A and B are shown apart, each in its own frame.
Chain A
Amino acid sequence: MLRHLYRCALRLHPPEFRRHFGEEMLSIYDHSTERLLSLGLLLDAIVSLGRQRIWRSEFWLQTSRSSMPQPAANAIPSFSSLAPFRPHTSAMIHGMVISITLFCVTCFAIRDSWIHILRVQIPAVSYDSDLSIHPGASLSAARGKPTSAMPDGKTKSDSGSNLIPEPLPVDVLPADAQASTLAAANRKSNTPAEPLAAAVATLQLRLDSYVGTSVSHKPNTKIAVGIEGDHLTIRLVGWPKRALSPVSETTFLVAGTNDQWVEFVPDSNGKMRQLSLFQNGDSITAVHQ
């Protein structure tokens, strides 16, 4: 693979240089047995390629006087380039190939970088179109007041359907307090409270479908899912209560971790009938009671 890339790098060198030294450079490459050394030689060939293409004067054509832009008839000078050179056509083509190659390599590196290897999951953000809040705003922003300083409160249960897949803040206002604060804020700003209150109520309805205690027989443990403010929480025996951040409608990350998440399995009515907790490569499957 590296040898093939090295050959490609050699092929992109100027034809004269390649004819003269290409085979010998390849013979030197064939002497390298270590992968690291081969990689170094490949980088060396790429640097050499840049040097040959950029600094070698034979790749720049001297523009003739006749082709230079002449002043216009009304004595206003026309535009001209700074240097009396223009790149050779082959240099332009090679430059284009190198640019495209570098672009592809960069895209590939971004896609398969160490971030991917470490399984850092970036939640996909999408918005439910039936909500009347602005699509770009978070729920906290929609409420119009910062919520981090508010105390925790009781939860409210109703049936619901879908969840808004948005990373939600952990320290939030209790649901009842949220509604009254929201109404007060809206009254103050002379805006209609109904759409935003409806949004909060819809969210509450949807979260309720995940709530409940699930039992696992292997290992023998219970997993409790509840609501705190506008987000779900999970509690396992031996665990502190943790907040859940939605990644999709059925997948939630355990807050503060990168490798622990919960997957819910809904029944035909939309109620969750089973959940699986994944952590450190293991999983616990529990059935809702």
Chain B
Amino acid sequence: MPIDPHQYLPLSPATLHILLSLAGEDLHGYGIMQEIGRQSDGKYKVGPGTLYDNLEKLLDREWVEELGSRKSDDDPRRRYYRLTAAGRRVLAAETARLAGVVREARARLQLAKPRRA
């Protein structure tokens, strides 16, 4: 039976960024850290401790799956991770929630604008 993604919302910033970084392609831990830095223009960074702590949680919830080592010329210690269908659903639900927040915020800010005489 598929899980209800809404029961896990809102996601923590680290979880959201990890899921978001894996939405495009399979990445190893270091790649995830770099992708998160790129997505946030360097404003949000996660260390390995935070990353793997969250990855462990995501693996337990089966939102992410482990692929093991991939490229022969790559560091053999690296493991690749992939977003699962469940993870994608949670990410989609969180994105929709955030879109609603942004829409609401814009509408309120529009109302709050001073009127021209």
Contact = CB atoms under 8 A, between A and B. Distances in A.
A25 B49 contact: yes
A51 B46 CA distance: 15
Interface in A34-51: 40-41, 43-49, 51
Contact of B33 (A28, A48, A51, A52): A28
A250 B30 CA distance: 61
A138 B75 CA distance: 69
The secondary-structure label for the interface of chain B is helix
B53 A27 contact: no
8 contacts: A20-B52, A21-B56, A24-B29, A26-B77, A27-B30, A27-B75, A27-B77, A48-B49
A29 B77 contact: no
B50 interface: yes
Given A24-B29, A27-B75, A28-B29, A44 B49 contact: yes
A21 B55 contact: yes
Given A28-B29, A40-B47, A46-B49, 15 more contacts: A21-B29, A24-B79, A25-B52, A26-B77, A27-B78, A28-B30, A41-B47, A41-B48, A43-B47, A44-B50, A47-B47, A47-B49, A48-B47, A48-B52, A49-B49
B62 to A, nearest CB: 15
A23 B33 CA distance: 16
Contacts of A49: 49
A21 B79 CA distance: 9
A26 B75 CA distance: 11
Q: What 4 pairs across the A-B complex have the smallest Cβ distances?
A: A48-B49, A44-B47, A21-B52, A27-B77
A263 B86 CA distance: 77
B28 interface: yes
Contacts of B33: 28
A46 B30 CA distance: 19
A85 interface: no
Of B30, B47, B48, chain A has the most CB atoms within 10 Å of the CB of B48
